[in-house]
């Protein structure tokens, strides 16, 4: 019997992998709402991407409906998403950025190259703030209401479809709420 057991090793490894994949399915970020939804946005204070000496904090979000977009220059999907953020900014949507685990020079160059849709960018080199906000991967976009409460989170790149049917209606509804 021990000989037989030895050759079970690949099967055991595969079953472990399958278990992980099953867990992955149930963890599907697009299905499970973040525990932070309807909670106040986690506090942070970080240097600005463009001006390292100036700090930006979550208090910047108060009073207006805001998008908080997590991005990085090493993230391929962020490039895909970027032009849509540019369009949103042109429509007057307030977008702040969290530049996540990135290099300052590369990030600045990116904004110069592809355009800058952000009111300001927090520079999170170590990814501490990202962890506090429960960032799963880049890009992610949080919708923060006038009271500074996270109301929605979109994981993965925005698409014209998700903007039309999901994001813009929600922003409109939140605009009508009291601050």
Partner 1 sequence: MIPELGHFALILALCMAIIQAIFPLVGSLNRTPDWVALARPVAWGQFVFLSLSFGILTHAFLVNDFSVLYVAQHGNTELPTIYKISAVWGAHEGSLLLWVLILSGWTVAVASLTRNLPDEVVARVLSVMGMISIGFLSFLLFTSNPFERLFPVPVQGGDLNPLLQDFGLAVHPPMLYMGYVGMSVAFSFAIAALIGGRLDSAWARWSRPWTLVAWVFLTIGITLGSWWAYYELGWGGWWFWDPVENASFMPWLAGTALIHSLAVTEKRGAFKRWTVLLALLAFSLSLLGTFLVRSGVLTSVHSFAADPARGLFILMFLLLVIGGSLFLYALRAPGISRGGGFANLSRESLLLGNNLLLLVITALVLLGTLAPLLYDAFQWGKISVGFPWFTSMFVMFTPPLIVLMGAAPLTRWKQQDPAALLRSLRLALGISVVAGLVMALPVREGSLSAGLAVALSVWLLTTLLTSLKQRLKNRPGIGGLLADIASRGGRSYYGMWVAHTGIAVFVIGVTFVTQYDIEKDVRMSPGQEIQLNDYRFRFDGAVPHKGPNYSAQIGTIRVFRDGREITVLHPEKRTYLVQSRPMTEAGIDAGFARDIYVSLGEPLDNGDWAVRLYYKPFVRWIWLGGILIAIGGLLAASDPRYRMRVLASLRGSRTATGTASAEVHA
Q: Which stretch binds partner 1 (CB under 8 A): 37-45, 59-67, 144-152, 154-162?
A: 154-162
Phi-psi region for residue 99, left (φ > 0), alpha (ψ -120 to 50) or beta? beta
CB closer to partner 1, 134 vs 149: 134
Any contact of residue 4 with partner 1 (CB under 8 A)?
Answer: yes
Tokens of 45: 């204070």
Omega into 5 within 30° of 0, i.e. cis? no
Distances (CA, A) of 77 to 17, 120, 138, 152, 176: 26, 21, 8, 20, 32
Pick 50 or 87: Cβ nearer partner 1: 87
Q: Which of residues 23-82 bind partner 1 (CB under 8 A)?
A: 23-25, 27-31, 74, 76-77, 79-80
Cα–Cα distance measured from residue 162 to residue 165, given in angstroms and rounded to the nearest whole number: 5
Is residue 105 at the binding interface for partner 1, with CB under 8 A as the rule?
A: no
**HSE-up of 109 (CA within 13 Å, CB side)?**
7
Choice between 97 and 148, CB closer to partner 1? 97
Tabulate helix, strand, coil % of the chain (nearest 5).
40, 20, 35
Count of residues that interact with partner 1, criterion CB under 8 A: 44
Q: Based on CB atoms, which residue is closest to partner 1, 28 or 176?
A: 28
Write out the binding residues for partner 1, residues 119-148 only, by CB under 8 A.
127, 130-131, 135-137
DSSP per residue, 75-118: -HHHHHHHHHHHHHHHTT--EEEEEES--HHHHHHHHHHH----
Which token pair is 130? 């990202």
Of the candidate residues 47, 114, 120, 170, the single one contacting partner 1 (CB under 8 A): 114
- Among 47, 94, 104, 115, indicate the residue that binds partner 1 (CB under 8 A): 115
**Sites of contact with partner 1 (CB under 8 A):** 3-4, 7-8, 10-11, 14-15, 18, 20-25, 27-31, 74, 76-77, 79-80, 83, 86-87, 101, 109, 112-115, 127, 130-131, 135-137, 155-157, 160
């Amino acid at each position: 019997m021990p000989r037989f057991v030895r050759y079970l090793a690949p099967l055991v490894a595969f079953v472990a992998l399958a278990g992980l994949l099953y867990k992955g399915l149930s963890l599907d970020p697009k299905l499970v709402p973040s525990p932070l939804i309807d909670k106040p946005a986690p506090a942070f204070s970080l240097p600005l991407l463009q001006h390292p000496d100036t700090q930006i904090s979550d208090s910047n979000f108060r009073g207006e409906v805001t998008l908080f977009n997590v991005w990085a220059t090493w993230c391929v999907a962020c490039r895909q998403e970027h032009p849509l953020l540019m369009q949103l900014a042109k429509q007057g949507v307030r977008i702040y950025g969290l530049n996540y685990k990135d290099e300052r020079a590369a990030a600045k160059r990116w904004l110069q190259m592809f355009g800058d849709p952000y009111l300001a960018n927090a520079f999170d080199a170590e990814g501490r703030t990202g962890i506090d906000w429960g960032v799963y991967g880049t890009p992610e976009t949080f919708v923060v209401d006038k009271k500074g409460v996270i109301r929605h989170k979109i994981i993965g790149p925005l698409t014209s479809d998700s903007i039309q049917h999901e994001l813009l209606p929600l922003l409109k509804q939140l605009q009508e709420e009291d601050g």
